Chains A and B, each alone.
Chain A
């Protein structure tokens, strides 16, 4: 069994790892077919979400009450919903929203978590302690509860979802970045930069954060799945994306009452959502493994 050999070999030395990293990623990806397939599926979902609304002749809120609950046909490839709206159009629009919310949230999370984690790790001392206490506190709060309280203040909506998910997501990112910065800041190249008179900001951005980029990318990839999932959950509860704008969560929520008569209305968006999240999780784990061989022992 290959597992034993991997465990015995252990992670390569840090110096060797950073030099050989690029080769590692490509080679690992070549061996990791699952990740490649998941990546392809993801590319199809992203491509379809971006392209289909431009190509299809329907608007997402275009009703046609003569054609409700139609099955798949040449005009409506996935059929129509309770108001005769084209399901494929709505599915693609929902995908746009989900992916957009995921992308914005992850970028905001990288910015907030990267800055605060970087500062905490580099500055150390009291600032570090308090920032980590803050992340402790935020991590104790589930994203859904945070979103619920925020929805009470801001009202339900897409912005609320993005703000809530960012607030819930940055602590994990900050901790990842801080941990890496802590180990990096004692290394020779940082000492050398400091000896040359580089400013703290320059050391942090050009030397420390730049060397933590691979970890940030892995963390971000792993985070997008849960983010999209929570967005769908909030929209499902009516706290996220507001009707008639579709999101996968909204599509599933609206089709619930027709589960007995028109199950496809629920099953199709469910399949789209689950496939996307499954693919994202596979890609995230694949990226994590490819960039950090020591993770390979984990499932």
Chain B
């Protein structure tokens, strides 16, 4: 188990290093000279040379990358181009909580709703619950988040006036964004749980459990669900990624001061340090989630450890 985890950890670090290289290249290949951006209308060769030296832009590319990676490891991404005098770190630190809260709330709700729905729909196949679950699954996968946003805003905010359209800070402001973020993860979790349970139901060990007199609930909770859990764990990891990338759209629509909106905004303002910081942070979160999912597998299913 520990060897397995160590191997995955090594792999994770390699990918992270490659991601940092990609993010560094983004900053260098991107059009526009950062020195010009920082200087604005000022035309002074001496100042320009000094900024260039301060940013380390006068050194060879590999040295620039090492400097970038070294600083990134310490969590330092330098100054924002768009907001002079502000460090990217503060900007990320300000934006992160909103996105993180939305993502965590979404994943928890998606699991709490999706797993029971998937199990029920598999056990009561071809029933009304099953129909509902399949509708949620296929509909959710076909519904882009901004289309879901249009629908929810129309019904809940403009039609029934239950929740405010936008704003941030209070609990009621979470309702619409979380609902919109929830659509796709809920669809995938429901679908995968249903498929996992359907796959486990005809197995011999389930029949054995039934014939030894275990209650239907006992069979489900002790034999069927643990075997369906693997796929649900993968998808829960994926759901977290969905919720984080969904932030790009949802935060833009609902004007939520989170990482997604900050990243899109930075992209249009050519604030590359900010784009790099968010890019690398996201990459680190995705790779970390994948790692946890892999180790989670091995923890639940002993067969994987020995592969």
Contacts and interface: CB of A to CB of B under 8 A. Distances in A.
B154 A151 contact: no
Contacts of B153: 259
A277 interface: yes
A151 B279 CA distance: 12
B144 A3 contact: no
A148 B143 contact: no
- Interface size grouping (class) on chain B: 35 or more
A41 to B, nearest CB: 12
A216 to B, nearest CB: 21
Nearest to B286: A140
Contacts of A236: 144, 146, 249
Given A142-B286, A256-B253, A299-B191, A148 B248 contact: yes
B147 A270 contact: yes
Nearest to A145: B282
Contact of A225 (B11, B142, B287): B142
Given A256-B253, A281-B138, A299-B137, A229 B144 contact: yes
B248 A144 contact: yes
A126 interface: no
Given A141-B286, A267-B150, A277 B142 contact: yes
A5 to B, nearest CB: 11
A144 B242 CA distance: 10
B272 interface: yes
Contact of A297 (B150, B199, B245, B264): B199
Interface string A127-155: 00000010011001110110011011101
Contacts of B306: none
B186 to A, nearest CB: 15
B150 A252 contact: yes
A203 B274 CA distance: 49
Contacts of B279: 145, 148-149
Contact of A142 (B142, B241, B275): B241
Contacts of B150: 252, 256, 259, 266-267, 270
Interface in A22-37: none
Q: Taking chain B's interface residues, is the majority helix, strand, or loop, or is none over half, making it mixed? A: helix
Interface stretch (B24-32, B46-54, B74-82): B24-32
Interface string A247-262: 0010011001001100
Contact of A237 (B30, B244, B264, B286): B264
B89 interface: no
Q: Of residues A225, A236, A252, which shows the largest number of chain B Cβ atoms within 10 Å of its Cβ?
A: A236
B54 to A, nearest CB: 23
A141 B19 CA distance: 10
B6 interface: no
A252 B264 contact: no
B287 A140 contact: yes
Nearest to B287: A140
B195 A299 contact: yes
Nearest to B288: A140
Interface string A1-25: 1011001100000000000000000
Interface in B186-200: 191, 194-195, 198-199
Q: List 5 A-B pairs, minimum CB-CB distance, nearest first.
A: A278-B142, A270-B147, A277-B142, A144-B245, A142-B245
Interface of A: 1, 3-4, 7-8, 133, 136-137, 140-142, 144-145, 148-149, 151-153, 155, 225, 229, 232-233, 236-239, 249, 252-253, 256, 259-260, 263, 266-267, 270, 273-274, 277-278, 281-282, 297-299
Given A149-B279, A270-B147, 12 more contacts: A1-B125, A137-B15, A141-B286, A142-B241, A145-B279, A153-B29, A229-B144, A237-B264, A239-B264, A259-B154, A273-B147, A277-B143
26 contacts: A1-B125, A4-B202, A8-B202, A142-B241, A142-B244, A148-B279, A149-B26, A152-B267, A152-B272, A153-B29, A233-B144, A233-B146, A233-B248, A236-B146, A249-B146, A252-B146, A252-B147, A253-B146, A259-B150, A259-B154, A263-B154, A274-B143, A274-B147, A277-B143, A278-B138, A297-B198
